[in-house]
Amino acid sequence: MTLIATQSLTKTYGGRVTALADLTVAVEPGIIGLVGANGAGKSTLIKILLGLIAPTSGQVSVLGIDPTADPAAVRNRVGYMPEHDCLPPDLSAAELVTHLGRMSGLPRTAARERASEALRHVGLYEERYRPVGGYSTGMKQRVKLAQALVHDPDLLLLDEPTNGLDPAGRDAMLALVHRIGTEFGISVLVCSHLLGEVERICDTLVAIDGGRLLRADNISAMTSATDVLAVEVSEGTEELAARLAELQLPVARDGRLLLVPLADDGTYDLILGAVAELDLPLHRLDQRRHRVAELFATRELTHA
C-alpha cells in the first residue's frame, strides 16, 4: 500500500498566499524525509495529512484514508510529534503519555502499560515520574516522541525532531528515530530543514520549495556517485597535486581533498602510482557523492 499520496494538492490562504501548489507525490512505507526551507510548505502539508486543515483543491490519502473526509480514522493510525514545546510542566511524563493514550482510545490499564513501554523505548523509563517541567530539552523531545508512539501507530509524523538539541542530542535522537523505523515496523515521516540529518537516516526524500515539488526519490539515487575522485593523503598534499598535474590529470582543491575527474579506470592507476612514487600515506581514494543540498542549490524541478 502507498503510504502517502497527493494529487495536484494545493492550499492557498485568503486567495493570495499559496502554501502548496499542485503537489503530486507518492511515497512507500519506510523512513521518509520531508525537507525544505522555512516557508516551503512542510507544516501546511503535515496539517493536511493529519486532517487538521483541508486543501483548497486536489486529493490526498494517508494509509489509504482521505484525511479530509475522515480525520479521526487517520489520527487513530498516525502519531504526531510537534516541533514546539507544548508539554504541561506540572505533569509527569508517565501521567502525560498515559492521558494521551487514553485520548487515543486505549483502555486505562492498556494506556498505562503502553505509556511505560513507550517511555522505555525513548530512554525515559527511570525518569517517568518526574514533572516534565524539570526535564532538559532533549528529554522533552523524547516525551513528545513517546506520546506519538503510545497508541502503536502505523505512521509517525515527526516535525523537526532534533529542534533545540546539541550535537550529541541530535545524534541520539536520529539513532532512536532510525531504530523505530527499522525495528518497530512503523513508517516515519521526518520533517526537517537540516539536510544532513535526512541523508543519515532516511530511505526516501521529498523535497519541496515554495510549496512546489523539487524531487521525490530514494536517497541512494540523490546521493549517487559523481565522476570525480576524491583523494586525501595524511601529508604531502602539495607534492601529490604537483605530480598529478605532471601526469596531465586536472586537479582541484577542496580543503584537504584533491578532486580529480574520473576519465576511466586508468585514472585510479595513475593516482595510486603517484602516491606510491612519492611514498605518501593514502587516507582516502573514492568517488565523490552528490549531496542532497545540491538539489536546493540548483532548484532542479525534477520528479522520479
Domains in the chain, ordered, with CATH?
4-222 (3.40.50.300), 224-298 (3.30.70.100)
Q: Given a cut of 50, is residue 304 above it in pLDDT?
A: no
- Among the residues of 188-287, which ranges form H helices? 195-201, 219-222, 237-246, 265-278
Percent of the chain clearing pLDDT 90 (strictly above) = 77
Smallest CA-to-CA distance from 121 within 79, 167, 160 is with 79
Average pLDDT over residues 211-223: 87
The 10s digit of each residue's pLDDT in 236-279 is: 999 999 999 999 999 998 888 999 998 888 999 999 999 999 99
Q: How confident is the model at residue 156 (pLDDT cuts 50, 70, 90)?
A: very high
Average pLDDT, the chain: 92
Considering only 28-37, 88-97, 215-224, which range has the smallest mean pLDDT?
Answer: 215-224
Considering only 80-84, 186-190, 204-208, 220-224, which range has the smallest mean pLDDT?
Answer: 220-224
Angle between helices 93-103 and 108-121 (to 10 degrees): 130
Q: Given a cut of 80, is residue 155 above it in pLDDT?
A: yes
For 92, phi then psi, to 5°, come to -80, 160
Q: How far apart are CA 45 and CA 23, in angstroms?
A: 10
Q: What is the pLDDT of residue 198?
A: 85
Q: How confident is the model at residue 235 (pLDDT cuts 50, 70, 90)?
A: very high
Q: Given a cut of 70, is residue 185 above it in pLDDT?
A: yes
* Residue 10 CB partners (closer than 8 Å, separation 6+): 18, 20, 21, 22, 23, 55, 56, 57, 58
Q: Given a cut of 60, is residue 299 above it in pLDDT?
A: no
For 62, phi then psi, to 5°, come to -130, 115
Break the chain down into helix, strand, coil percent, rounded to 5. Answer: 40, 30, 35
pTM reported for the whole predicted model: 0.79
What's at 49, amino acid-wise? Answer: L
Percent of the chain clearing pLDDT 70 (strictly above) = 95
Q: How confident is the model at residue 228 (pLDDT cuts 50, 70, 90)?
A: confident
**More reliable by pLDDT, 84 or 55:** 55
